[in-house]
Amino acid sequence: MAASSSSLIRNSAFLLVLTFLVTVTSTARYVGALHIDVKLTNDLGAGLNLTVHCKSIEDLGVHVVPYNGFYNFTMDLSFFEVPPHYCQFKWKNVTYPWFLIYDQSRDWNLCRNYCPWSIKQQRLCMRTSNSGATKEHCYTWGS
């Protein structure tokens, strides 16, 4: 009786440790960067101001960025997860639909803790550099 209850306790303790290890292992890839910086550069063309409005759980407000200028913000990795962030872009008299600017499952392996975007008239591109080679991941407006 005593033996079986102590082995039950041992088994429960083992399961607890196992659960803990599995949890730590599966979230470990998100540890290492406590902050993620997102940078949005206005590459629309000379003389064009870009109006940027980003939000997630919090509204980050409206910012006007001159050509060649940028707007940046930092996201915190709380509980190893960053909620999706959306931005709305406007120039001349056109407002483009909300765009998913940061999605952890899409972007974590692409840009890790620094996610720079180039905002152009035809598309918006995230620039990543891997061992010196620069790559652009582009999306057309409305995609």
Instruction: Give me the residues that bind ligand NAG (CB under 6 A), please.
Output: 37, 47, 49, 64, 66, 72-74, 92-93
The structure tokens 């120039």 sit at 91
Tell me if 51 sits within 8 A of 89, measured CB to CB.
yes
> Which of 41/125 has CB closer to ligand NAG?
41
Q: Considering only CA atoms, which of 59, 52, 142 is closest in space to residue 97?
A: 142
What's the min distance (Å) between Cβ of 114 and ligand NAG? 9
Q: 46: which residues sit within 8 A by CB, 6+ positions away?
A: 67
Give residue 33's identity as a one-letter amino acid code: A
Quote the tokens at residue 65.
Answer: 């960025």
**Residue closer to ligand NAG, measured from CB, 4 or 59:** 59
Measured from the CB atom, is 62 or 110 closer to ligand NAG? 62
Nearer to ligand NAG, 36 or 124 (CB): 36
Distance, CA of 126 to CA of 75 (rounded, Å): 17
- 49 or 104, CB closer to ligand NAG? 49
Tokens of 10: 């041992």
For residues 2 and 79, the answer to whether their CB atoms sit within 8 Å is: no
Nearest distance from C-beta of residue 74 to ligand NAG, angstroms = 4
Contact 83, 54 (CB under 8 A): no
What's the min distance (Å) between Cβ of 132 and ligand NAG?
A: 20
